[in-house]
Chains A and B, each alone.
Chain A
Amino acid sequence: MKAMTRRIWYEAGIIFALGVVLGLAVNIQMVIDAFAGRLTSEQPAVTADGKGTDPAGEETGLGIYPVPVLLDEVRELLKTGAVLIDARAVEVYDAGHLPQAVSLPAENLYELLADFVEQVPIDTTLIVYCSGFGCPDSENVAEGLLDEGYTDVRVYEGGFPEWRDSGLAVAKGAP
């Protein structure tokens, strides 16, 4: 019985290893680049016109995802010059938003992106938020920003509700 149990565990290990090998065979380049730091905000180099040469790994076909951040991290990043982006509808933004946040509604994203890119340098740290956990707008806007060439895009999952409920200052109207 013990020998049989050992064998089952051994075979489970083999199956696990097989799955890992298969996954690495398909995604090895992505994993290598992730550990080499090539899928973070430290690259690619910014060209003279302010646009990256390989926005969000487009040329290499690799994916960079928007990094989730918590409230404390948001507050620290704001001290270093990060730009807050509100992905909610304009009416909701006007009713109350995080101080200094820029309105970039998910529903109008592609109409507004060109102006945004003109005004905000490509190497800026961006923090996108919307209506809290489960709200997809912040993710959609963040991915749109990555597609435009920004490489340091964070998503503040707690969003406006957590900021407000933490007792932090809230602004209304345009910044």
Chain B
Amino acid sequence: MAGFRFGGCKGGPVSRSGLYFYHFCRLFLGGLFLYAGVVKASDVTVFARDVANYQLLPYAWNYLVAATFPYVEAVAGLLLVLNFRVRPAALLLALLTLLFMVALASVVARGMDIDCGCFNPGQGHTSAALALLRDVGILVLALLTLRLRSRMLS
């Protein structure tokens, strides 16, 4: 039996549970990155230090990343929360998460136990290994959001 067709959705029918799950993924992911982006944007210098701790970029580039990436996260997160341009926003966040995972993997491989700087930069300590595990979950969430939205529109 086909699922419910909800008004305003183009394309094929989606079950009620599928629709709820989609909105949960979208709102959770969007809220997470919106929060993370705002927190990091509020103190760029501290975030630049956290980026520098990865020992991957030249000095000035740490500032460039710290000055721009939080805004990218916040904009993409906001789009998800508003349910606008969900697929490109989810794709972008998946790519960013993948990038963070590569950086974290390099830290773990080099035996450095730094704070990941993911949320609340400069405060507390989330190990790179733990952050890597967490990012796997975030990546899955982003891909799920992308996939569910694509199914709704197909």
Could you tell me which A residues sit within 8 Å of B by CB distance?
A: 8-12, 14-16, 18-20, 22-24, 26-27, 30-31, 34-35, 37, 39-40, 62-68, 70, 132-134, 136, 139, 157
Contact of B52 among A10, A14, A65 (CB under 8 A): A65
- A-contact bits for B82-115, CB 8 A (1 contact / 0 none): 0001011101100100000000000000001111
Interface of B is mostly: helix
Does more than half of chain A's interface fall in helix, strand or loop, or is it mixed? helix
**What residue of chain A has the Cβ atom nearest to residue B68's Cβ?**
A23
CB-nearest residue of chain A to B66: A27
Q: Which residue of A22, A67, A132 is within 8 Å of B71 (Cβ)?
A: A22
Q: Which of B60, B70, B112, B127 has the most CB of A within 10 A?
A: B60
Q: How many inter-chain contacts with C-beta < 8 Å in the A-B complex? A: 110
A22-B75, A139-B122 known, 5 other contacts, Cβ within 8 Å: A20-B71, A34-B59, A66-B49, A67-B52, A133-B112
Q: Enumerate chain B interface residues (CB-CB to A < 8 A).
A: 41, 44-46, 48-49, 52-53, 55, 59-60, 62-64, 67-76, 79, 85, 87-89, 91-92, 95, 112-115, 122, 125, 127
Contact partners of B91 in chain A: CB under 8 A: 8-9, 12
Q: Inside 8 A of B88's CB, which chain A residues have their CB?
A: 8-12, 14-15
Contact A23 B72 (CB under 8 A): yes
